[in-house]
Amino acid sequence: MLMSLIVDCITSIISWTGVFTSIAFLSGCDGHSCPPMCTPGEACQDSYGIPLWLVVMIATFFLPQGVDYMWSRIVLLKTRGIMPPCRPRIAGKLPIFYRKEYNITAGGIERLHPFDSQKYGRVIHFLVSRGVLSEKDVVRPSLPSRAALVTIHGPGYLSSLKFSIQVARLLEVIPALFLPQPFLSWRALRAMQYQVGGSMEGAVAALERGWAINVGGGFHHASGRRGGGFCIYADISLAAEAAFQHWSHHMLEDAGEANLQQDNVKEFRVLIVDLDAHQGNGHERDVLKKRRLNRKILKSLTENRTASYDNGFRAGDTFESPWNGDQVRAAQGRSRAAVGPEDPSNISSHEFRDGVPTERKPLFLMDYYVFDMYNATIFPNDTVSKGAIDRDISLVPNDQAIVLCDTDERFEGAIADTSDSPVERLGRMDCDDGYLGLLSHYLPSTVEQYEPHLVIYNAGTDVLDGDPLGGLSLTPQGVLARDEIVFSSALDRLSKKDPIPILMVLSGGYQRANAEVISSSIENLGRKFEWFSHAASQ
């Protein structure tokens, strides 16, 4: 963390140097007009004919990105792509994550985007003013380390955020293009990083406490390689990875290696329930990538169970868990039959005696199930990422009603088919009743069938009536009922089995009234599950 702050300071100093150099040149420094690059009729005297000020400007434009990229590469090599442990400080507190730095302010420019970037503070204000909780009950998350961010976001993507034009594009606030990058980093990126920290710590806290709420986050349009739609960091993917690392470490510590060796593959199952009005294309692209990687790893294990002494393994060779890159390359160099996955964080250790593996520690994999219920007529319309959705409930709002399309046949008989379009197969429904009916029909059964270890709930409130972008027209009471259905599906299950840990993140919402609705929903959930009378004493 200290080195990350030092690198940020260095890149900020370089960037500000470029800003002041540009200002100094454009102002002429001495109050006169700017000097020409070359005197007419004479050869330029600067090296290679390039003025010194231009060299400084170019260097300060690209150097911060280069420094940041190299630092990310160093961190990636040092950590071997494994996320460091995430340890939230929740003793004596409620697993509700917030700090005032969540709120994004940039001199009023943030108002040029319809997203309410200061709703987080108002949610807490409503909860405190109603006596639901006090500020000391709330957990203040830490910034995620560069080692954590780089496990999902590559060095190239993170270093691209050193350009104002890239940040402005992702925020969809064009005037931000003209702001110095250090200012954007301070006022926008840092706020989002704190929210990412809240999602990561919240996921771990949910495993320990059974539930958690991050009063922020839900950047579901961001994936490891791209962002957009006011989403820069893929906090949902990062939260799942933090929970996975926490779970796998506890599996090794609590169960003991002897028991784990009976089953060579252990899966950590994450159910993402995305009820924002927009399709969650960011985390869905990360899910596609993870599934491809898991298939390659399992195929490698299936095809390469043994390795012979003749291929170069010595009796007693041990490959530490997880393999690092050098060990994988060394094993591949000695034997074509060695397992050599692309992602070393998923690999267990192997011990060879006389060239035959006699002991194999478990291989931990993370598996996803994506439940996405969204307005099919609005951004992002990402057909590629739809391939990751396991339960695709896409909706078409029409005259204050909702038309359901693109789902399976099991629900077709439940609603009369009154649509003329073959795509809109299931007819029209009143907004609250239809939406909640679909959710209560599909979600509880999904939870029971999939049996996840963690539910990550993306609770966007852009489904509210009057939202300029969502278009689904739910009432505030409908949003409260929606959230209760999701939490009941995990904590008060139909099968009466053990509750499933659940993390809620706020995601989208483009009206000032959203904050009060969110706080009312949290209060309602607290009453139903008796959080505020018992949770703080845990």
Of residues 358 and 361, more confidence is placed in 361
DSSP letter assigned to residue 366: E
Q: Phi and psi (nearest 5°) for 354?
A: 55, 35
Question: pLDDT tens digit string along 379-402?
Answer: 999 999 999 999 999 998 765 556
Sign of the alpha-carbon torsion through 321, 326, 329, 332: negative
**Per CATH, domain 96-140+173-257+267-290+365-537 is 3.40.800.20:** yes
Q: What percent of the chain has pLDDT over 90?
A: 49
Per-residue pLDDT, 306: 41
Nearest to 8 by CA among 64, 63, 57: 64
Q: Determine what percent of the chain is predicted with pLDDT higher than 70.
A: 66
Per the model's pLDDT, the better-predicted residue between 310 and 48 turns out to be: 48
Per-residue pLDDT tens digits for 98-107: 999 999 876 6
What angle is formed at CA 404 by the lines to CA 418 and CA 275, rounded to 5 degrees? Answer: 155
Is the pLDDT at 309 greater than 60, yes or no?
no
Which residue is catalytic, options 125, 153, 220, 221? 221
* pLDDT surpassing 60 at residue 460: yes
- pLDDT for residue 95: 98
Residue in 453, 451, 415 with CA at minimum distance from that of residue 434: 415
Q: What is the pLDDT of residue 183?
A: 85
- pLDDT tens digits, 114-132: 677 889 999 999 999 999 9
Predicted local distance difference test score (pLDDT) of residue 343: 43
Residue 491 has pLDDT above 60, yes or no: yes
The answer, yes or no, to whether residue 140 has pLDDT greater than 60, is: yes
pLDDT score of 259: 54
Determine the pLDDT at residue 162: 87
Say which range, 6-20, 83-97, 274-288, has the weakest mean pLDDT: 6-20
> Looking at per-residue confidence, does 436 or 57 come out higher?
436
Q: Is 307 left (phi over 0), alpha (psi -120 to 50) or beta?
A: beta
Q: Which of 459, 538, 443, 461 lies closest to 500, judged by CA? A: 443
Confidence of residue 213 (pLDDT cuts 50, 70, 90): very high
The pTM assigned to this predicted structure is 0.78
Task: Indicate the domain borders of the chain.
Answer: 96-140+173-257+267-290+365-537, 318-359
Indicate if 246 belongs to the active site: no
pLDDT score of 50: 58
Residue 358 is predicted with a pLDDT of 42
Q: Mean pLDDT across the stretch 254-266?
A: 60
Q: Are 470 and 375 in contact (CB under 8 A)?
A: yes
